[in-house]
Amino acid sequence: MTLAYSQYMYNKPYGFDITDLNFDDVSNKLFCTFSELDEIDNLIDNIRSQYNVLYNKIFVLQIKNSDEYVCTYNIDYSNLNEIPENTILVHRKKETNTLYTINALNELIKKLNGGVVDVTYRINWMHYRNCILLTQHNELKQLNTKVYKIVEL
């Protein structure tokens, strides 16, 4: 599937190589696939046909102030042969609906802690409610989101 992305789409390097995955732990990870609105239905159909989606739900989030959308979903790693195009692996802070990459978390801690990455640093997650934190070109990006729809599979 080839998509024409707007200038705001987050292209590599933000992804990961499938060889970097720890398959014993991947079922606890969340996949986040970027798309434009006119491609969402095709993307959902592709995800549904190619993967066993855990919890039978795909959350579609709109990135505020842009034409970007993301689908978030867990995939059963036993049938994972390749990572979907335009997809990143993220973690989620349930209480605030914050999605983040580990690199973004480290950059956020550095920003808040005087340039020092300290794994014991406590983040006030309420400041990052309903957003995706990621890095692009070694810069922290905060994409504010809202739920567009929830797809029950």
| pLDDT of res. 79 | 65
Q: Two tokens at 80?
A: 């994972």
Question: What does the DSSP 8-state code read for residue 113?
Answer: T
Round to the nearest angstrom and report the end-to-end CA distance of the chain.
21
Mean pLDDT of 99-107: 96
| pLDDT of res. 130 | 98
User: Distance between CA 47 and CA 51 in Å, rounded?
Assistant: 6
Provide the total of helices (H) and of strands (E) in the chain, helices listed first. Answer: 2, 7
Going by pLDDT thresholds of 50, 70 and 90, the confidence category of residue 129 is very high
Q: What is the pTM of this model?
A: 0.80
Q: Two tokens at 73?
A: 């979903």
User: Distance between CA 39 and CA 81 in Å, rounded?
Assistant: 22
Mean per-residue pLDDT over the chain, rounded: 84
Q: Is the pLDDT of residue 26 over 80?
A: no
Q: Two tokens at 136?
A: 């692009």
User: Distance between CA 129 and CA 91 in Å, rounded?
Assistant: 14
| pLDDT of res. 84 | 84
* Helix, coil or strand: residue 147: strand
For the chain, the domains span: 18-152
| pLDDT of res. 75 | 86
Q: Is the pLDDT of residue 96 over 50?
A: yes
Q: Is the pLDDT of residue 138 over 60?
A: yes
Q: How many CB atoms lie within 10 A of CB 139?
A: 9
Question: Percent of the chain scored above 70 by pLDDT?
Answer: 80
Question: Percent of the chain scored above 90 by pLDDT?
Answer: 67
43 or 11: whose pLDDT is higher?
43
Cα distances from 73 to residues 18, 103, 139, in angstroms, run 17, 20, 25
User: Distance between CA 95 and CA 108 in Å, rounded?
Assistant: 18
Mean pLDDT of 86-97: 94
Q: Return the closest-CA partner of residue 105 out of 90, 126, 95.
A: 90
